[in-house]
Amino acid sequence: MLLTFVQWCSNSDAIVYIRDSRYGMPAVQSVHLVGITVLLAAILVLDLRLAGIGMTEWSLLWLERQLKPWALGAALLVLLSGVVIFLGSPAKYLASNPFLFKMTVLCLAVVFHFGVLRRFVTTEPGARWLRIVVAGVSATLWFLVGWAGRAIAFVP
């Protein structure tokens, strides 16, 4: 059922056009990468502040408020372009170990961000070591998503 729907999307005129045109996929991949640049920069700023090693002139709450619209916009770009890239060759991605790993770590990163990190943003509690651990886990998870994405090109 779901697979049929994916297949139907993958054969839609828009996706076929992107897949078959010379610069279609590179353009979508570029959007993906621009979005990643902004999204991960916002996450890095929060992680550095949470760990207390950078951006210490501002409060975590203020930083989060400033970055939120840009991070959400970037996340939307990454998600939409990511869906298009996936639909370009769904069979290839579903058979790819790094892709499945990437999606797993992505889920973990999102859950960790909204479940754990955001609590530190709104209340700023906890010992210094705890904040460093949370920042470290956040940065590791998000960059692991990126590395797994890169690995799709090199690992079956």
Partner 1 sequence: MSLLGWCQWLEHTPFALSISESIWLFPLIEGTHILALPLSVGMIVIFDLRLLGLAFRDGPASLVMREVVRWSKIGFPIMFVTGVLLFVTQAGKAYGNAFFRTKLILLLLLGINAVVYQLVFYPKMAQWDLARRAPVGARVCAGLSLLVWIGVIVCGRTMAYQF
Query: Which residues would be at the binding site for partner 1 (CB under 8 A)?
Result: 23, 25-27, 29-30, 33-34, 36-45, 48, 54-58, 62, 66-67, 69-70, 143, 146-147, 150-151, 153-154
5 or 154: CB nearest partner 1? 154
CB of 3 to partner 1, least distance (A): 28
6 or 121: CB nearest partner 1? 121
Task: Round to the nearest angstrom and report the end-to-end CA distance of the chain.
Answer: 26
CB of 115 to partner 1, least distance (A): 22
CB of 117 to partner 1, least distance (A): 16
CB of 10 to partner 1, least distance (A): 20
